[in-house]
Amino acid sequence: MDYLHILFSEGVKLFALMTPPAVLSAFLSASKSYTPARKKATARKTAAAVFIIGAVLYFFGTAIFSIFDFTLDAFRIGAGSLLFLTAIHLMNESASQPIFTPEEDISVVPLAIPLCMGPASIGTVMVMGASAKDTEQMLIGALALFAASLGIYTMLYFSNAIKRMLGHTGIAILSKLTGLLLAAIAAQVIFTGIRSFLQ
């Protein structure tokens, strides 16, 4: 029973760190011209990319950062810059113009990285992996990551229903508020990375 409680709490925490409102807003804005089939395929690819990236970082994150000789602070600066560009796209988009061209694949960038797997979620996943003391804890962490990825997939899969609930005005408001939120998050992430890097 304790394992189920830990699995649930860790899964919810990871899902929240993946900034679901920002992911949903960016997905709805970028997929305006997509067919229903392409939207579902993008949802699957995004969730798969999130889980694969998260699993690699969970099991091998510390070693990867060490091999390439860069720190989490350097990642913060790079990811924050990408996040800021996405925020600018969201703030400048018009009602009829998607923020990405129809030919672009948005599943990995920007949805999986840096929206879902940004500095906060990556740092948490790496700490979880480094803190796991036995096989059971490693399995619980991996299942929590899978549950969070499944939550992202479910949200994106039902994005049309959510869009109908919110309406055109609600989506527009969510998009602009998300742009402002992402800009603030990006600035904070970059400043944190620079401050820690200089120290």
Residues 73 and 196 sit within 8 Å (Cβ to Cβ): yes
If you average pLDDT over residues 74-95, what whole number do you get? 71
Cα separation, 156 vs 142, whole angstroms:
21
Q: Is the pLDDT of residue 136 over 80?
A: yes
Residue 96, pLDDT score: 44
Helices (H), 93-134: 119-131
pLDDT digits (tens, 9 = 90+) for 26-36: 898 888 889 99
Domain residue spans in the chain?
Answer: 2-198
Q: Using DSSP, state whether 76 is helix, strand or coil.
A: helix
Q: Is the pLDDT of residue 104 over 50?
A: yes
Q: Helix count (H) and strand count (E) of the chain?
A: 7, 0
Cis peptide before 36 (omega within 30 of 0): no
Q: Is the pLDDT of residue 174 over 80?
A: no
Residue 86, pLDDT score: 67
Q: What is the pTM of this model?
A: 0.74
